[in-house]
Structure formats: C-alpha cells, structure tokens
Amino acid sequence: MKFTHLVFFFVLSVSLQAQSDIEKNLFELPDVIFTKIKTPDGYQSAYKLMIKQPLDHKNPSAGHFYQKVYFSHMDYSKPTAIITNGYQKNRNNITEVARLTNANQLNVEHRYFGESMPKEVDYTYLNFEQVTADLHRIRMLFDEIYQGKWISTGISKGGTTTIFYKYFYPDDVDVSIPYVAPLNYEYEEQRIYDFLDNIGTKECRNDLLVLQKELLKKSDEIIPLLKWYVKGRDLKFNYLSLEEAYEYAVLELPFSFWQYGKDCAVIPSSGDTEKQMNYLLDIVGLDFFSDRDMEAYGSHYYQSATQMGYYGYETEDFKGLLKYLPYEPHPHAAFVPNKMKVMWDGTITNKAAEWIAKNGNNMLYINGALDTWSATAVPPSKNVNSKWFFMKDKHHASARIKNMTDAERLTFVDALEKWLEIDIE
C-alpha cells in the first residue's frame, strides 16, 4: 500500500511540476491572457488563451482584437499541432491528428468569428493575408516554448485555411493536413456543376431532380406549413424572405445530398407532399437560410464573395418553377453581411493554386470521393512531395483518418513518420 501511495504522489508531483513549468512559460509570452480549463485525457494541462492580434499585421496602429485559442500541453519533446479552424471554436476537442502524433495542440478560432471579434467590425481586414498572419504570430510566440516539429491541420474551410497558411508561410510547419478543403478558382465555381452532373448514378440524380421540381410546384401548398415550422424553431427571415429561403433550400438539395453522402434509395417518390417536405428539412433545412445563420456565418460569406470563391445554383432545369429567385444570374450561396456591395478578386486564390502545385511539399490531402467539395479539392501534382487521399464512399463528415482503409492509413502514417521524424503506434 505504501508503494502505491508513493507512486501516486510521484505521478502527481510530476504532473504539477509540468503544469507549473508551462504556466511559467505562458506568463512570459507577450500579449497572451490565459485561463486554466479542463485537461483532456492524456494531456498534462490545458488553457483558454486570448491572444492580442493586430487587425492589420502590416499596420499595428489600425487597432487590435483578441483571438481565442484552446491550448493543450502534452510534452515539450512532442510535435505541436496548430489547428486552423475556419469558423468559431466553442470547445477544446483534441483532433485525431494530435491524438495520432501525441502532439501538443493549439486550437485556433478564426478571426471575425465567435469570441475572436474586434469591437468594431471592419471587413477590410478579413482576408487570407491577415488570417494567416494571425497563425504565423501564434506560431512564432510558441516557438519560444516548443522546438520540435510542427503540424497544421484544419477541416473544410479550416482546411482551406491550412492551404493558404502553407502558401503564405511555407516554413512555419513541417507537415500540413487539409481535410475536405476546397480551393476555389471562381466566385461561382463551375466545377461544382460538373461534379453534380456526374456523381452517383443517372437514376439517383434524376430522382433528386424530380423531387426538386415537385417541391417547387407545390410551393403554395408547402410554404404555409413551413410558417408553423419556423415559428416553432423561432427562426426569423429578414435577410431572405421565407419564400426565397424555401427556393434556395430546394436548389441546395443536390449539393447537401452529396456533401454528406445520403442514400439514394430513400429519396421520396412523387405524391406524398408532407414526406417530401420533411425530407427537404432533413437534408437541407431552413435554418441555414435564416437570419440567425446569416449572422453567424456572415464573415464566411464575406470571404467567399471577396477572395475564397463559392458556388451558385443552376436554374436551367427549373424554367417556370421559380417564383422568388432569379434565373439569371444564377442565385449564389454567398450571403454577404447586410447585402453590402463587394468585389470578387481571385488573384490570391489562383496564385496559391499555382504555387501549391509546384511548391506545396509535405502536404497530406484528405477528401471524400462523394463530397461535393471534392470537386474543388487541390488536384494531385507530380511536382511535389505530397500525398492525396480521395476516400471511396466517404463524404464531408466521414473522410477521416479513422475511416481510412489499411492501405491508406499505412501510406498516411509512413509519410507522417518520415516528415515528423517520429514513430507512430
């Protein structure tokens, strides 16, 4: 019993000493406020950081904001993963990349989201140059603490941020892992349309089209029913009217269907209006087009309409069926805050695409072959030392390391071990 007590107190002493050391290091970082939070399993300690960032990294006098980062400390000898989220970050989850590599983790909330908002929102400073400069500054701050290998990784828009972080700061990390990450070339990406015209079987695509047409034909019958639905969910529609939101949801159906790999066998057939309506609400929903979500994702839409590119909805198959949306130009999915007038500029996006194809080494791209966003994924290039995984039958939410085949996982782990100079169990 005495021996057991001694072991317990020794482990506790080591843990408290590690916590004390990391907090001493955090105290010495400039412009960093930290608060201790619940420690994830397997880690020594964890903290919520608020890091003072300039709005304009080239002109600090323009003002500042505080950026939220969840920091989990494993060990000074381990790699460090910087998680490049594309949106707000509400909890300190440990990513599968950090688990796989036993890495320390910095889980970074994107500027202009969640708690990482300036007091006065000036969208002038919301661009890839500033976003990646935020990440670079965090990386340089923690360079004082960790001298080991570094990884960057993100999912979806966060994966796109990973790609641009590599483009602007190619030497910051040793490995970059973008998941299901689009790299769009245009404001209205034509490759999305090509993908939707060819994915799956002809029968499945036709079943979706038939359903869309029926939903539009029945709009006068369905929209009154939806008024009770939105009242129950306390949804407001001022940015878009409920009628416009309904037509957007119908047009969105194929994109969402394939993005999340839904089952062709359960697409409702003709006739049952209530079943068709409920199917639309299940696959797309109306929340996505409500004022609440417009506000929550306003910064995302601004980026999509100015630099990142996005997608629109073809209307040619619906002549005579749309009552509230235009046929030309195609309705677009980037709902810019306050309907402000913005200009699309694809210069940086296309430069990054060219650079990545020639210089984007040590990158591991994870995509789902069913995912609509795989249409605009970074295409494989023989000119770089990187790996691509287009996972069969996987979609936006299931294209993950844990779902790889044995062969895919072996290739993935071998590359990580080589580039990080570690052994992975």
Would you list the DSSP string of 37-63? -PPPTT-SEEEEEEEEEESSTT-GGG-
Q: Report the C-alpha gap between 5 and 400 in whole angstroms.
A: 41
Sign of CA dihedral 232, 274, 224, 324: positive
What's the pLDDT tens digit per position in 245-285? 999 999 999 999 999 999 999 999 887 999 999 999 999 99
Structure token digits, residue 129 = 């140059």
Helices then strands, counting H and E runs in the chain, come out as: 13, 9
Q: What is the pLDDT of residue 17?
A: 60
252, 313 Cβ separation under 8 angstroms: yes
Q: Report the C-alpha gap between 281 and 257 in whole angstroms.
A: 12
94, 81 Cβ separation under 8 angstroms: no
261, 395 Cβ separation under 8 angstroms: yes
Q: Report the C-alpha gap between 239 and 338 in whole angstroms.
A: 8
Q: Is the peptide bond before 329 cis (omega within 30 degrees of 0)?
A: yes
- Give the chain's residues under pLDDT 50: 6-12, 14
Sheet strand arrangement including 80-84: 32-36, 45-54, 64-73, 104-108, 80-84, 150-155, 175-179, 364-368, 387-391
**Angle at CA of residue 283, ends 277 and 288, nearest 5°:** 95
Q: What is the pLDDT of residue 422?
A: 97
Q: What is the pLDDT of residue 377?
A: 98
Taking CA atoms, 245 is separated from 235, 328, 417, in Å, by 11, 17, 48
Q: Report the C-alpha gap between 13 and 232 in whole angstroms.
A: 53
**Boundaries of every domain in the chain:** 29-184+348-420, 190-339
Secondary structure class of 181 (helix, strand, coil): coil
Q: Report the C-alpha gap between 407 and 283 in whole angstroms.
A: 32
Q: Report the C-alpha gap between 282 and 296 in whole angstroms.
A: 21
Highest CATH level, class, for 29-184+348-420: alpha beta
Q: What is the pLDDT of residue 10?
A: 47
